[in-house]
Amino acid sequence: MGPEELAIIMSPQFINATFRAGEDWYHSMVARNQEARRRNDFENANAELVRVNHLLISRAQEQNLRWKRYAETLDQRIEVLVRQVNARGEFGERVAGELDVASRNLEAMTTLCSQKDASISHERQKLAALHAENEKLRAALSAAESDRQRLHEDNAAFLSAADHFEQKCKGLKSDLARSQQALHEEEAEHLNLSHDLRDARLVNEALSSAPLLALSLMEQTRALWAAQGKPSMMENSLASHYRVDGHPLTVREYLWFATLMREMTAHNVPDHLVSAHCPVAQRGDFLTRPVTIQEKRPD
C-alpha cells in the first residue's frame, strides 16, 4: 500500500464515513429489531434482540480487532515511513505532516475503540438484563401453568364432588318420595282406621241402645195382640219382608232389624255397616213398606 492509499485510509473523512456506515448499519439493525419486537411476542423479540446483540458484539469485537491489527500495521508502516523519511530528506516535511495526522487519527481511533468497548459493555449489561427479565417471565409462565394445572385439578375434583352430591341428592329425593308416599299411605290408613273406629263406636252405640228399644217394642206389640185376644205372632213369618238370602223374616226379626236400622241411622252409621248388620232385602223402603204377617197353619 502506497502513501496515497495510506493517506486516504487515515483521512478523517474515510474514518468518519466508515463509522457512520457502521452506525447506520447498527441503527438499521436496531430499527429492524424494534419492528420485529412489535410483530412478534415478547419472548421471540427478546430472543431476536439477544441474537442481534450477540451479532453486534461479535462484529464490533471483530471490527476492534481489525482496527487494532490495522493500528499495529500502521505502527509498522510509520516505522517504515520514518526510515523512508530519513532516507528521503526531500519528503521529510510532507511525511512528518502525514505522520502527525496519522498519529492524531490513531489517537482518535483509539478513543473511538474505547467508546465502542464501553458501548459493547453497555450492550452486554442490557443483554444480561434482558436475560434476567426473560428468566423472570419464564418463571412467571411456569407458575401460571402450575396454577392452571392446579385449577384444572381442583375443577375436576369439584365436578366429581358435584356429580356425587347430585347423585346423593337424587337418592335423597327418591327416599323422600318413598317416605312421603309411605306417609300418605300411613295417613290414609290412619284416617281409615279413625273412620273405622268412629264407625265402630257408632255401631256399638246403636247396638247398645237397640236391644232395649226392640224389647220394649216387642212387649208393646204383644200387649196389643193380647188386648185384641190374639196369641203372640213373634215367630210368624212375614210375606212382605225378606232376608238377602230370600228367606222371609219373622216378626221378631223384623222388629229387631227395624229398631237397629233406626238407631244406626240416628247415629249416622255408614250405609255399608247398616247393610252388614241388617242383611235384609230391599233395604231402601224396609221401614216404610207395609208389614204383612203370614198366619200359621194348624198342624
Task: Tell me the three cell numbers of residue 207.
Answer: 247396638
Residue 297 is given by DSSP the state P
CA–CA separation, 198 and 36 (whole Å): 98
Asked if 95 and 85 count as a contact pair (C-beta separation under 8 A), the reply is yes
Q: How far is CA 154 from CA 141, 143, 145, 168, 280, in A?
A: 19, 16, 14, 21, 80
CA–CA separation, 138 and 296 (whole Å): 124
List own/partner pairs for 112-121 with CB under 8 A and 24 or more apart. Answer: 112/19, 113/64, 113/67, 113/68, 116/60, 116/63, 116/64, 117/64, 119/60, 120/56, 120/57, 120/60, 120/61
CA–CA separation, 121 and 26 (whole Å): 16
| Whether the model pTM is above 0.75 | no
Q: Which residue reads 198342624 in cell numbers?
A: 299
* pLDDT tens-place values along the chain, 299 residues long: 677 777 777 777 777 877 788 788 888 888 887 887 787 777 776 778 778 878 877 887 888 788 788 768 867 876 776 677 577 666 567 756 776 786 787 688 778 768 877 877 887 888 788 778 878 878 887 887 888 888 788 878 878 887 887 888 788 888 888 888 888 888 888 787 888 788 889 999 988 889 999 999 999 999 999 999 989 899 999 999 999 999 999 999 999 999 999 999 999 999 999 999 999 999 989 999 999 998 876 54
